[in-house]
Amino acid sequence: MKYCFYRIASVLALTLAVISPSAFASFQMESIEGLAPGEQYRQLSLLMLISGGVDPGLVDMLQPLAQSHPEVLEAGRSNLALDDFSTPLARIVDQDVLLANAAQMFRYARENSTEIQARMTQIVQANPILISMVDVNEIAADAIIIRSAIADSIEYSNAIDAPDSAEQLQAFRGQTVYLRNMMEYNIFQEELAEITNQAILDLGGRLDAYQRMFDDDVDPDLIKRRVESAEIMNQQTGDRYEDQANMRNTELLMMLILMESQVH
């Protein structure tokens, strides 16, 4: 719970900080051009994770709301930035507008999926250092909050009265839980990898120390191997940022692929 509050607070703070007319839910690529590459990447990733695995039936279910709010396609007050979705105002006062925006967002993401992913790859290749620092789990956490806001809004809107809507909503919530679990798994994996690597290093050190007690001379082969390892590590450091950036992008794409392929 504490973690959840922290995330909501972060998203709210971010929303206040990034009040930009270019981050509207109409999501034209041109509208985010002016943003820093890192923020562009974050917005696109967020868009993809929010829309990932959404059944076309759910989009159809929300379509009447989108039609009753044609202003969502126009620049103005009714348009929501991605981060606005979780604000209390949007959730409590203007749920229909929130859902109309969500419908538009889902449709846009579905229709422009290839273009969005190509743009993300382009950003990764052009800015490896910047993207290597992106925390995919943080984006996933934001996506979870927004998806939950949308799901809660559906529950209190008239859209829930449509046939099969309860199942559609359950599937959408199920995918959100799946996304949360993937995010938690990633965090767990990182912490586990840290413990494992440290334990392996400790083990090597202890055994090395013990082994040295039996060695009359210093083992030149061992030293040579260590030196070679250090050289390799130095060489790898240069490539690291690019690798990490690609890894972050892969993680994100993997989340999307898994969400899309999840069978309910």
Partner 1 sequence: MPTSCSLWNSKGDRGQVQVKIIFRVTTLVLLFSITMLLNGCAGTARGSKSSVYQDYQPVEVVDYSLSKADALVVIRYPAIIHADAEASYFHAFSLHAIGGEVPPANRTKKVTTRIAQSILAKSNYYVMSLYRELQKELPEKTVLLSPHIILWDRERGLYSRPILATEQIPSVVTVDFNVYSYPDTTELMDSPPVTFGDLVTPIFVVQGDRWIQPPTNGLLLASAPLLQTAWGLSEQQAERAIERRLEGGLVDYQRPLDFVQFLNRRAVPRKNLPLKNVGESRLEVQSVEQYPVEKIKMDGLLLENLSEDFSTDPFAESFVKGAAERVKHTLNEVNHDKATFFARQNALARFDPELAIAFLARSGGEDVRSRLQLAEALIEAERKFIAAQSVSIYDGTYLGDYGGKMRQMIEGEYALLENRRSAARKANVTTAVAALALIGSIYAATASGAIGGIAIQSFSGILVLGSLWAMSSTLETRAESAQMSEHFLALIAPALERQISVQMEWLQSKERISAMGFAEFRNKTLTLYQARVRSLQTRYDDNCTFRHPAFNVSGRWFGSCREGLAQDRGYGVIMDNAGNSVEYLGTAANGLPSGTGGMIARYGRETGAFYFEGAFEKGLPNGIVQVEEPGTRPRIREFRAGKDVGSGAAEQLSRLTF
- List contacts with partner 1 (CB under 8 A): 174, 177-178, 181, 184-185, 187-189, 191-193, 195-196, 199-200, 202-204, 206-207, 210-211, 214-215, 219, 221
Name which of 161 and 221 has its Cβ closer to partner 1: 221
What are the residues whose beta carbons fall under 8 Å from the beta carbon of 34, sequence distance 6 or more?
20, 22
In the complex, what is the shortest distance from the CB of residue 114 to partner 1, in angstroms, rounded to a whole number? 29
Give the residue with the Cβ less far from partner 1, 30 or 221: 221
DSSP code at position 24: B
Q: Is the Cβ of residue 177 or residue 223 nearer to partner 1 in the bound state?
A: 177
On the CB side of 29, CA atoms within 13 Å amount to: 12
Q: Taking Cα atoms as reference points, which of 234, 135, 237, 142 lies closest to residue 186?
A: 135
CA 67 – CA 261 distance, rounded (Å): 30
Pick between residue 166 and residue 177 the one whose CB is nearest to partner 1.
177
Cβ-proximal residues to 185 (8 Å cutoff; 6+ apart), any chain: none
Q: How far is the CB of 106 from partner 1 (least distance, A)?
A: 22
C-alpha distances in Å from residue 240, one per residue of 20, 38, 43, 128, 131: 33, 18, 24, 9, 12
Please, which residue, 1 or 195, has the CB nearer to partner 1?
Answer: 195
Nearest CB to partner 1, comparing residues 110 and 212: 212
CA distances from 169 to 54, 85, 180 (A): 10, 17, 16
CB 117 within 8 A of CB 48: yes
**Residue of 256, 117, 85, 82 whose CA lies nearest to 178:** 256
CA distance 140 to 135: 9
Q: How far is the CB of 180 from partner 1 (least distance, A)?
A: 9
Nearest to partner 1 of 199, 233 (CB atom): 199
Nearest approach in angstroms of CB 217 to partner 1 is: 10
Q: Where on the phi/psi map is residue 89: left (φ > 0), alpha (ψ -120 to 50), or beta?
A: alpha
> Closer to partner 1 at the Cβ: 13 or 207?
207
